[in-house]
Amino acid sequence: MPTSQSSEPGDTRITISNICSVQGFKMMRFILDRMLGRMRSWLRLFGYDTIYAEEGEEDGTLFLRAKHEGRILLSRDKALVERCRRRGVRAVQIRSLDIVGQLTEVMIHLGVDPSPKMIRCTLCNDQIKRLNKDELEALREEGYDYIPVSPPDDREFWQCTGCGQVFWEGGHWENIRKTEELLRRRYMTAERLRHKLEHWIEHSEGHLESYRKAMEEAGDLGLRDVQDDLKQAVQAMEDATGWLMSALKRLKMEDSGEG
């Protein structure tokens, strides 16, 4: 769990610059449409600056916010994603309906790191800071009676610098860790699939040359029926290679927006 501190004495703010430099965190900023509400908290938990469409917010406003703030638009709306791309805004169409599937998509297509990072508030998206023992006691005296009493060496607490919400690793973290492990397994599966596709494409292209040469030889020998069959084989192999290349492109790159 990241607990980097500022060099300033007494400052327990976890700086995003430290997280990025020390752990190679790939900084990305997101804006989500209202069909992807559950992703909001998860992406913030993973450390990403993530905002959410306001009630009734028009697509044009989402586009402008993404463009002006340098955010990647995530949406289930194919037409909106295509409009954004045509106008130079990075956008990804999310197809999955369940949250694990949606997180898998952004992990594979954008390189989202599914490790929980105590950087951002999952409620309001502001930064959070780690609390020391005295700060915890002061909060309890102020009425934060929901904060569990725990020895300082046993459990860490954080507070949002914006909304004031206090966080700690409670029982729900078991499910969070299980989700992280599941996402990492899915990523490894996707990597194996990528290697398979690259291998198949390489071999298909090699076989195509042999098929074409054999087809020419059959023609030179006057074996028209054989030549016709080989021609069909070449066409089938070309089609198969094209589909394999399309699958690889979809896997390696951002969603193409196609249906």
> In this structure, is residue 62 part of a structural domain?
yes
The last residue of a domain, from among 75, 110, 145: 110
pLDDT at residue 5 in the model:
29
Is residue 197, in this structure, part of any structural domain at all?
yes
Split at pLDDT 50, 70, 90, the class of 182 is very high
Domain assignment present for 155: no
**Residue 184 lies inside a defined structural domain of this protein:** no
Number of helices (H), then strands (E), in the chain:
8, 7
Q: How confident is the model at residue 253 (pLDDT cuts 50, 70, 90)?
A: low
Could you tell me which residue, 57 or 34, shows the higher pLDDT? 34
Residue 254 binned pLDDT confidence (cut-offs 50, 70, 90): very low
Model confidence at 151, pLDDT cuts 50, 70, 90, reads low
- Give the contacts of 248 (CB within 8 A, at least 6 positions apart): 194, 197, 198, 201
Place of tokens 């909304």: 163
Residue 217 CA: distances (Å) to CA of 145, 205, 236: 85, 19, 19
For the whole model, what pTM was predicted? Answer: 0.76
Number of domains in the chain: 2
| 40 vs 36: CA distance, rounded Å | 7
Q: In angstroms, what CA-CA distances link 186 with 38, 94, 179, 245, 247?
A: 19, 16, 10, 21, 17
Residue closest to 13 by CA, chosen among 95, 138, 121: 121
**Could you tell me the residue range of the domain that residue 219 belongs to?**
189-252
Average pLDDT over residues 106-121: 92
Domain endpoint, select from 77, 110, 143: 110
Q: Within a 13 Å sphere around the CA of 101, how many CA atoms are in the beta-carbon half?
A: 8
Question: Any idea which of 17-31, 129-143, 227-241 has the lowest mean pLDDT?
Answer: 17-31
Cα–Cα distances in Å, from 55 out to 52, 62, 232? 9, 12, 55
* pLDDT of 150 over the 90 cut: no
Token pair belonging to 177: 């860790």
* Domain harbouring 98, CATH code: 3.40.50
Q: Is residue 173 part of a domain?
A: no
Which residues are bridge partners to 131 per DSSP?
Answer: 157
| Position 233 in a domain | yes
Among candidate residues 110, 132, 160, the one where a domain is terminated = 110
Determine contact, residues 225/215, Cβ cutoff 8 Å. no
pLDDT tens figures, 194-240? 999 999 999 888 888 898 999 999 999 999 999 999 999 999 999 99
Check pLDDT > 80 for residue 16: no
Residue 180 lies in a domain: no
Q: What's the CA angle centered on 84, arms 81 and 90, to 5 degrees?
A: 85
